[in-house]
């Protein structure tokens, strides 16, 4: 069992101001796999003070110094890569193969991308008789979720380091093990004392103290829309910047000219990846009404073939959901889908056969749903797909946009021009055509209640920078 009860503050591992232990549960077997401490306002004060002191020098560091630092972070992460993946498997049940190929890769990918951008980023430019400077915003509070733990740490910490900010990270208390490994990587890479700090804890104890702290200059939050609202409210009195990546209920429009088998298969497997615990999951599949029966048969076949089981087993495709609380929520929404009259095509309530221990959910597909049903409106955050029929392309686009969210959208088509035209009409921040992935350089973030600001690549630098115009600079 991992004993991770210390915090990383000012370049050292320190005990919490007040000891409050929390067990970390392995969702695959429901056993305790680690223990952390829950921090409080005093721990946040210490971490923020360290970050504020460190900013006086790190905020004025040179590009060359930060390039060298990020190079060291990349090299150290590469040495600890397997450790990161194993921690993610234990804390959230990601299958080992998925943890290695996808989850752990995100952290390395964001470090490498921030390094690439930093080498050429324009921090100052001349305009009229003035010079415009882009300077680090200061001390940043970073709050990250449990579902893609290192991805969200990486896409916040890497650009913050690159531009010269200092920071305090509060990772999810549900899946904090990989954040500890990340902190070890930062220490081993030689990040200067106080530049990077980590305090474990829950939202009320640490998240609130961080977001309302007067010496924190910006908050970067990833999580539910409900929690994002609270962060923004806490930040408002000090008028600090708030960047948010929040929930989603993303549409996946299968156009009439798409290869139906490929499109439906891709959509079902995507919903099972990471056990459906992705904010940008294509959870609403929009299918031409005259092809719905055929699409149902494909979806049922694909769902039945998904291997659910022990994350340590190389043959496992889908592991458990992260906690008993998430399991109960998903089961309740599956029951509600049945009660509201949606057709159950695959899966359903309960656990897969032979998996009585662990928070395992059956890959579930509903069909014949209308967009006003609960399963089409609420973010389920599990392997539950809702198929909605449409009779015209205009109706499909209207259904796609009929949501308070706008994080992602998906278009499947055999005609790229057709796909581009439909993609241009979806009100969301990230659209994928035929399952394409643009890499870590492509901006990620949402419209509407899916948040504000953008992460990843060059666009991810913006939220960590202030703009200063010095008029008359030319003399």
Q: How far is CA 5 from CA 11, 21, 172, in A?
A: 16, 7, 14
Distance CA 426, CA 277 (A): 22
| CA 173-77-32 angle, 5° bins | 30
For the sheet with 31-37, list strands across it.
2-4, 31-37, 21-26
Helices (H) and strands (E) in the chain, counts: 15, 21
Distance CA 283, CA 389 (A): 14
Q: Is 292 exposed, middle or buried (0-12, 13-18, 19+ CB in 10 A)?
A: middle
Distance CA 417, CA 312 (A): 43
Q: What is the DSSP string of 170-184?
A: E--SSS-HHHHHHHH
Distance CA 198, CA 196 (A): 7
| 393 included as an active-site residue | no
Distance CA 386, CA 346 (A): 11
Which residues fall within 8 angstroms of residue 114, CB to CB, at 6 or more apart? 70, 158, 159, 161, 162, 460
The active-site residue out of 245, 296, 455, 458 is 245
The active-site residue out of 33, 106, 212, 279 is 279
| 30 included as an active-site residue | no
Q: Could you list the active site residues?
A: 245, 279
């Amino acid at each position: 069992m991992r004993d991770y009860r210390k915090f990383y503050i000012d370049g050292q591992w320190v005990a919490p101001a007040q000891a409050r232990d929390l067990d970390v549960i392995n969702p695959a077997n429901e056993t305790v796999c680690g223990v952390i401490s829950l921090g409080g306002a005093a721990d946040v004060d210490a971490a923020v003070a360290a970050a504020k002191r460190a900013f006086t020098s790190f905020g004025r560091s040179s590009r060359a110094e930060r390039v060298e630092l990020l190079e060291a972070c990349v090299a150290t992460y590469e040495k600890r890569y397997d450790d990161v993946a194993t921690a993610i498997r234990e804390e959230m049940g990601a299958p080992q193969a998925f943890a290695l190929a996808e989850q752990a890769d995100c952290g390395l990918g964001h470090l490498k991308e921030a390094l690439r951008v930093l080498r050429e980023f324009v921090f100052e430019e001349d305009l009229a008789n003035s010079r415009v400077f882009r300077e680090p915003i200061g001390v940043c509070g970073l709050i990250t979720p449990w579902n893609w733990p290192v991805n969200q740490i990486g896409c916040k910490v890497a650009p913050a380091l690159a531009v010269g900010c200092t920071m305090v990270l509060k990772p999810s208390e549900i899946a904090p093990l990989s954040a500890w490994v990340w902190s070890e990587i930062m220490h081993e890479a030689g990040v200067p004392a106080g530049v990077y700090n980590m305090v474990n804890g829950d939202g009320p104890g640490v998240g609130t103290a961080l977001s309302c702290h007067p010496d924190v200059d910006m908050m970067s939050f990833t999580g539910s829309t409900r929690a994002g609202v609270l962060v923004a409210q806490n930040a408002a009195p000090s008028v600090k910047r708030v960047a948010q990546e929040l929930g989603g209920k993303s549409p996946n429009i299968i156009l009439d000219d798409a290869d139906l088998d490929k499109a439906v298969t891709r959509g079902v497997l995507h919903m099972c990846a990471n056990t459906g615990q992705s904010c940008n999951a294509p959870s609403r599949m929009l299918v031409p009404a005259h092809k719905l029966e055929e699409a149902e048969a494909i979806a049922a076949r694909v769902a039945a073939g998904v291997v659910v089981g022990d994350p340590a087993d190389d043959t496992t495709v889908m592991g458990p959901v992260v906690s008993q609380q998430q399991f109960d929520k998903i089961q309740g929404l599956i029951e509600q889908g049945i009660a509201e009259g949606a057709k159950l095509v695959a899966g359903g309530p309960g656990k897969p056969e032979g998996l009585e221990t662990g928070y395992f959910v059956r890959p579930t597909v509903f069909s014949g749903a209308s967009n006003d049903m609960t399963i089409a409106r609420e973010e389920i955050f599990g392997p539950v797909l809702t198929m909605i029929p449409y009779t015209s392309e205009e109706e499909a686009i209207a259904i796609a946009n009929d949501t308070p969210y706008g994080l992602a959208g998906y278009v499947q088509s055999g005609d790229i021009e057709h796909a581009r035209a439909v993609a241009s009409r979806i009100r969301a921040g990230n659209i994928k055509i035929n399952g394409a992935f643009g890499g870590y350089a492509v901006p990620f973030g949402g419209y509407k209640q899916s948040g504000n600001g953008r992460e990843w690549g060059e666009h991810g630098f913006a939220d960590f920078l202030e703009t200063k115009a010095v008029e008359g600079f030319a003399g």
